[in-house]
Amino acid sequence: MAETKTVHSPLVTYASMLSLLSLCPPFVILLWYTMVHADGSVCQTWDYLKQHGLQGFINIWPRPTAIAWKIIACYAAFEAALQLLLPGKRVEGPVSPEGNRPVYKANGVAAYVVTLVTYLSLWWLGIFDPSIVYDHLGEIFSALIFGSFIFCVFLYIKGHLAPSSTDSGSCGNIIIDFYWGMELYPRIGKNFDIKVFTNCRFGMMSWAVLAVTYCIKQYEQNGKVADSMLVNTILMLVYVTKFFWWEAGYWNTMDIAHDRAGFYICWGCLVWVPSVYTSPGMYLVNHPVNLGLQLALSILAAGILSIYINYDCDRQRQEFRRTNGKCLVWGKAPSKIVASYKTTSGETKTSLLLTSGWWGLSRHFHYVPEILAAFFWTVPALFNHFLPYFYVIFLTILLFDRAKRDDDRCRSKYGKYWKLYCEKVRYRIVPGIY
């Protein structure tokens, strides 16, 4: 059984774990409250809390209602059914630290198309009005907060009692096990991969569904959709479409191949993605800014370019790995480092590290266009309020931390070869600066 390792010092790890566990749930509620009921103004919410104290905060926390549970249950059951039943190519994931190779069914694009077509058809045919989701958003987030916490407890117990593979184990500390997770690839039965469900089919899919919901809500409220909302919705949908187009590639990334299924990743995908990631759109519902055609198109073009570059970085790395370096990178043979490492079972394996193309500019250049894309789908809100920009700021901190975690992990995995890579490609994220 593999042991869980933490990359930060124990003190930082505990402090960040405990503060995230206790602060994230109330933050989600305050964010929703401010966006929907306090005009997006942090000052207004602050004044309210100053006046009414803790009891005031308890009063604004919506109770999870039956309709909220029903919406979540129908959505989750629909997504789980699509994940299990839609056809898809058999795809092998990367070799795990224990030497296992998980197998997936790549049906993400089909699930994405079926979900959006079904949702829009239900609206069009008058069977279900997406505005209901917006009107019960607080209750839905509240239900998600409690439901996902219970789900993470289930993951913890499953990790102890019935792990799905040898890529699992306890570090002996209950809080770290709960927070970072115990299993790398938990499954129900042989085929239902829990992380594909939480991260992709529930979390990322909810992003697209809520983006459409916000747009429809503004239309039903005002009889039209402002160009700022259109730019925001289109960019978020392009981003999520890119995600599902590349979903099998996502199964090779840190989230799936390295981070275990615990509170950090699963609660994040089940609650944080639907609430925080979609928050610029949530704000725009009640703030229909008119940008004018030229500005709207310029922001749209800049956002699409950023999403394309981010996609191309991921594509370049994966194409390079898939072809074993026998591909062209920016029209030339790639430069590379052949790095060997040992798996936890003691086997020696090799990986190729790409040192040209996007991956020669900096070691995590792909985070630059990721942050820019988020900025471009937020900037239609202009600068009256700070809160719509929370996601961009959060993402920047997350990705800078992630780059450090990834560097540390790769350094301990590849040793001298990683050092060589760092000498060749000196900057971590922003070429010439950091």
Q: How far is the CB of 64 from ligand NDP (least distance, A)?
A: 26
Phi and psi at residue 188, to the nearest 5°: -105, 120
Residue type present at position 113: V
Which x/- pattern over 322-341 shows residues binding ligand NDP (rule: CB under 6 A)? --------------------
Q: How far is the CB of 121 from ligand NDP (least distance, A)?
A: 29
- Interface with ligand NDP, residue 375, by CB under 6 A: no
- Interface with ligand NDP, residue 253, by CB under 6 A: yes
- Interface with ligand NDP, residue 317, by CB under 6 A: yes
List all residues 6 or more positions away from 267 whose beta carbon is below 8 Å from its beta carbon. Answer: 24, 148, 149, 152
Q: How far is the CB of 223 from ligand NDP (least distance, A)?
A: 33
Q: How far is the CB of 143 from ligand NDP (least distance, A)?
A: 23
Which CB, 179 or 365, lies closer to ligand NDP?
365
Among 32-40, 174-182, 197-205, 352-360, which window interacts with ligand NDP (CB under 6 A)? 352-360
- Interface with ligand NDP, residue 366, by CB under 6 A: yes
Cβ atoms < 10 Å from Cβ of 397: 9
- Interface with ligand NDP, residue 353, by CB under 6 A: yes
Interacting residue with ligand NDP among 13, 100, 298, 351 (CB under 6 A): 351
Q: How far is the CB of 45 from ligand NDP (least distance, A)?
A: 25
Q: How far is the CB of 56 from ligand NDP (least distance, A)?
A: 32
Q: How far is the CB of 138 from ligand NDP (least distance, A)?
A: 23
- Interface with ligand NDP, residue 260, by CB under 6 A: no
- Interface with ligand NDP, residue 254, by CB under 6 A: yes
Interacting residue with ligand NDP among 314, 358, 387, 389 (CB under 6 A): 314
Instruction: Find out whether 208 and 220 touch, Cβ atoms under 8 Å.
Output: no
Q: How far is the CB of 419 from ligand NDP (least distance, A)?
A: 13
Q: How far is the CB of 65 from ligand NDP (least distance, A)?
A: 29
Which CB, 160 or 402, lies closer to ligand NDP?
402
Q: How far is the CB of 366 from ligand NDP (least distance, A)?
A: 5
Which CB, 73 or 254, lies closer to ligand NDP?
254
- Interface with ligand NDP, residue 359, by CB under 6 A: yes
Phi and psi at residue 342, to the nearest 5°: -110, 135
Interacting residue with ligand NDP among 160, 402, 404, 411 (CB under 6 A): 402
- Interface with ligand NDP, residue 247, by CB under 6 A: no
How open is the CA angle 296-310-192, to the nearest 5 degrees? 110
d(CA 116, CA 208): 8
Q: How far is the CB of 256 from ligand NDP (least distance, A)?
A: 8
Beta-strand pair 348-354/192-193: unpaired
Which CB, 144 or 273, lies closer to ligand NDP?
273
How open is the CA angle 210-216-217, to the nearest 5 degrees? 85
Task: Give the position of tokens 């590349």.
Answer: 246
Under rule CB under 6 A, how many of the chain's residues touch ligand NDP?
19
Interacting residue with ligand NDP among 410, 417, 428, 429 (CB under 6 A): 410
The CA-atom distances, in angstroms, between 98 and each of 155, 163, 176, 258 are 20, 14, 20, 11
Which CB, 118 or 345, lies closer to ligand NDP?
345
Instruction: Find out whether 186 and 159 touch, Cβ atoms under 8 Å.
Output: yes
- Interface with ligand NDP, residue 354, by CB under 6 A: yes
Handedness of CA 121, 125, 128, 131 (dihedral sign): positive
d(CA 138, CA 161): 35
Which x/- pattern over 272-311 shows residues binding ligand NDP (rule: CB under 6 A)? --------------------------------------x-
Phi and psi at residue 103, to the nearest 5°: -115, 135
Which CB, 217 or 317, lies closer to ligand NDP?
317
Contacts of 37-46 with C-beta under 8 Å, sequence gap 24+, read 39/286, 39/385, 40/283, 40/286, 40/287, 40/384, 40/385, 40/387, 40/388, 41/385, 41/387, 42/385, 42/386, 42/387
Q: Which positions touch ligand NDP (CB under 6 A)? A: 253-255, 310, 314, 317, 351, 353-354, 359, 366-367, 370, 395, 398, 402, 406, 410, 413
